[in-house]
Structures are given as C-alpha cells and as structure tokens.
C-alpha cells in the first residue's frame, strides 16, 4: 500500500502533535503516526510543567489534564536547607502537575481538529533516502506494510529516536549525558502538597530526586541518576528506595505505579534539519539538561517545525530556517543549563549545603540561573571562578 502526504509526523508525543497541528493549520495535508495503541500511555514523565510557559505556547489550562497546581518549588540540600521558590520568586517555574496521558491526548486531539489525520498502532520501521531526502517511510500498521511518500518528514519519535539514524544523523549520547530515571507514584504520603520538591546531592549522583504532588497524599517521587555513575543493574532503584526509606513522610506511602525511563542531559543536536527532515523535541535532544524537563521544548520546536513545513510547501521557503528559528528561541537556555549541569554534577554535598544554605538567606527576585549565580557571587565568591562561564 502506498500513501502520499505533504507532511508525515512520526510520534504523537507533545512534539509530534504540536507539529501536526501547526502544519495542518498552515494548509498542509498531514499524517501523524503513533506506534502505541493509546496516546500518552504508559506515562513516562514526572508530569511537572510550568504554567506560564504553557500559556505562552497558546495552551490554556484545562481541568481535564491538570492534576494539581502548586505554589512553587523547593530546593533541598543534602543536610536539609530548603530554598523555597514561591510564585513571586519562581516566576514561570511555578506550575502544574499534569495527567500526562490526558495532556498528550488533548494535544493530539487539537492536531486532529486542525485537520491532521492520525494513525494509531502505526510504527515507522525504516526509510529510503535519495540523497539528502527521505523519499519513502515504511510503516507497520496493525501488521500491514504501508509505504508513505511524504514531501516533508518531522521526526518526533522521542528519546529513542530511530529516524535520525535512518537519515544518517548522529544522535548517540555519552553515558555522562544520560540520566536513568525511576519513579513511583506514592499514595498515602504526608507531605506539603503546596510545593514540588527537588533534592540534590549524593543521594542521587549526577541527578536529583523529585517529589511532584498530584494532590493530597499522592505524589510522583522519582530519581534521575547519571548513567555513568551506575555500577550494576538495580542501582537506580536502590538509590530511590534508600531515599524514600530515609524520609518518614514518604516511606509510609505505597507505590501504585512505577515508571522507568531515561532523559538526555546533553546539548541539543548539532544538526536538526536534513533535506526534507526536521527533528523536534527529545529526538533532537532538546531536554533541559539541568531539570530534565522537555515537554515545553518539544511543543515549541514542534510548533516551529510544523509552521515552517507549511510555509515551505506553500511558498518554497527553505526548511533550514527551522535550525535558526528554534535555536533563536530555545538554544541559549539549553546551553546555559547544560553548562550548569556539568558543574552541578561535580559539587560535593558540603558545597550544595553551603550554596543552598546561603541562597536561603537572600532575597532572590526570580529564580533563573543568572539570578542564582549572581546570588552565589555575593555569598560564596570562592565558587565564582568555577562558575564564571555561566555568567
């Protein structure tokens, strides 16, 4: 079977659905394919999303996917110093904990309403390249082989992207640029659900522990550990179990859901456009290396790629504009937070205690990397030589 389409979008996560919607709105015929049988499920996410960023992306809050709204975030040092970043101090980091499956379904539905077609249980299995162009994509749809003939391809196939490889783009990651993650949804805990908590230090080498509340007595409690710090199978679980056991307010909870996965903590890929192919979201390594958050970057890069695909098809504008367009908006933040991550993973517990302890004393107006560094310069100038390049 052969199927011709203007824009083929591979993967119906936030990046793919946003790309499909934008391309359909720009007048293209769009096919969005998803290998799973249910959008967004199983969930592989801490489900924390900044509310102001969503608004900026044109996604108004919707009770169908908001699980819980928090007042802000708290950063907890190894010895227990707590820096609270409330709405005033946290700026657009204050946010929602979402139901990620419902959120992803809402984005895919918006793409369909904008005119995109969608195929579920449809997995891209290979591609034919003619020069730089991806001229054909093979899809397994319910066990049937279908050949798609696309004018433009948008790869939104996430962290484990195979589409990049088919196009000859190198998306390999160094171990130090991968965090292995494990998360339990704990029910029956006794924590303060007004805040999402981040714990840093050697309890999560090369990463951190998060407690993202989904309501009273329920939270996603997860850990990311630098893959290069793992010695044997089961280490990530050992770190998470040990953390929970040492926090009585959490240890009385029981896990009703377990999520395992990985996030890239690398720089974004050097090349995200090749011929008629654009990469968005995790497939392009657009996760924030410091926080592990990637939902909003996937959405924004998808929106940009979809719009550029539409303009390219209508008026012939070159697609390599995509490279410049997303970098103009997102790259500075990704690079700065990558550099910050490279520093943070080498800090000792004592250093974390000193910096966070000192930050607790300060009036920081907005919690941005720049603000934090300016504060560190005041209270712990001896660290500044190391952190200078971030400023």
Ligand X SMILES: Cc1cc2nc3c(=O)[nH]c(=O)nc-3n(C[C@H](O)[C@H](O)[C@H](O)COP(=O)(O)OP(=O)(O)OC[C@H]3O[C@@H](n4cnc5c(N)ncnc54)[C@H](O)[C@@H]3O)c2cc1C
Q: Is 150 in the site for ligand X (CB under 6 A)?
A: no
> Residue length, the chain?
391
Pick from 91, 47, 41: which is nearest to 68 by CA?
A: 47
| Window of 244-252, 291-299, 322-330, 352-360 that interacts with ligand X by CB under 6 A | 291-299
Place of tokens 């965090």: 179
Q: Which helix (H) or strand (E) holds 87?
A: helix 87-90
Alpha-carbon torsion angle 302, 308, 310, 312, nearest 10: -150
* DSSP codes of every residue in 105-145: HHHHHHHHHTT-EEESSEEEEEEEEETTEEEEEEEEETTEE
Contacting ligand X (CB under 6 A), which of 3, 44, 327, 366?
44
Q: Is 292 in the site for ligand X (CB under 6 A)?
A: yes
Contacting ligand X (CB under 6 A), which of 59, 70, 153, 156?
156
Each residue 340-369 as x (binds ligand X by CB under 6 A) or -, in order, gives ------------------------------
Place of tokens 């000192």: 358
Contacting ligand X (CB under 6 A), which of 5, 6, 7, 14?
14
Q: Is 181 in the site for ligand X (CB under 6 A)?
A: yes
Report the C-alpha gap between 351 and 42 in whole angstroms. Answer: 38
Q: Is 12 in the site for ligand X (CB under 6 A)?
A: yes
Report the C-alpha gap between 235 and 257 in whole angstroms. Answer: 19
Q: How far apart are the first and last CA of the chain?
A: 55
Contacting ligand X (CB under 6 A), which of 35, 89, 229, 274?
35
Contacting ligand X (CB under 6 A), which of 22, 106, 259, 330?
259
Q: Is 6 in the site for ligand X (CB under 6 A)?
A: no
| Window of 20-28, 164-172, 255-263, 363-371 that interacts with ligand X by CB under 6 A | 255-263
Place of tokens 């309501």: 215
Q: Is 236 in the site for ligand X (CB under 6 A)?
A: no
- By the criterion CB under 6 A, which residues form the site for ligand X? 10-16, 33-36, 44-49, 123-124, 156-159, 162, 181, 183, 222, 259, 261-263, 281-283, 287, 292-295, 298
């Amino acid at each position: 079977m052969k199927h011709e389409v203007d824009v083929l979008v591979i993967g119906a996560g936030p990046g793919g659905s946003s790309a499909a919607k934008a391309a359909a709105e720009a007048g293209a015929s769009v096919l969005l394919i998803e290998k799973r049988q249910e959008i967004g499920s199983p969930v592989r996410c801490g489900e924390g999303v900044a509310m102001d960023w969503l608004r900026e992306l044109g996604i108004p809050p919707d009770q169908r996917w908001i699980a819980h709204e928090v007042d802000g975030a708290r950063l907890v040092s190894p010895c227990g110093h707590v820096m609270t970043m409330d709405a005033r101090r946290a700026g657009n980091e204050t946010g929602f904990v979402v139901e990620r499956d419902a959120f992803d379904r809402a984005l895919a539905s918006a793409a369909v309403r904008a005119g995109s077609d969608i195929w579920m249980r449809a997995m891209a299995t290979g591609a034919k390249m003619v020069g730089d162009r991806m001229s054909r994509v093979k899809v397994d749809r319910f066990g049937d082989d279908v050949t798609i003939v696309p004018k433009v391809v948008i790869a939104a196939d996430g962290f484990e992207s195979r589409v990049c490889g088919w196009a000859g783009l190198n998306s390999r990651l160094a171990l130090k640029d991968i965090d292995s993650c494990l998360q339990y949804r704990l029910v029956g805990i006794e924590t303060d659900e007004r805040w999402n908590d981040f714990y840093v230090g050697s309890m999560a080498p090369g990463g951190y522990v998060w407690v993202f509340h989904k309501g009273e007595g329920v939270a996603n409690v997860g850990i990311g550990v630098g893959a290069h710090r793992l010695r044997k199978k089961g280490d990530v679980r050992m770190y998470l179990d040990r953390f929970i056991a040492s926090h009585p307010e959490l240890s009385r909870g029981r896990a009703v859901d377990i999520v395992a996965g990985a996030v890239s903590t690398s720089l974004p890929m050097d090349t995200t456009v090749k011929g008629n192919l654009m990469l968005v979201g995790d497939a392009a390594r657009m996760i924030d290396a410091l926080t592990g958050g990637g939902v909003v970057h996937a959405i924004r890069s998808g929106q940009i790629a979809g719009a550029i695909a539409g303009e390219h098809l209508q008026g012939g504008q070159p697609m390599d504009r995509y490279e410049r367009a997303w970098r103009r908006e997102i790259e500075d933040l990704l690079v700065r937070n990558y550099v910050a991550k490279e520093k943070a993973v080498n800090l000792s517990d004592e250093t974390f205690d000193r910096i966070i302890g000192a930050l607790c004393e300060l009036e920081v107006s907005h919690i941005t990397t720049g603000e934090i560094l300016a504060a560190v310069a005041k209270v712990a100038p001896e660290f500044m030589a190391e952190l200078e390049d971030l400023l």
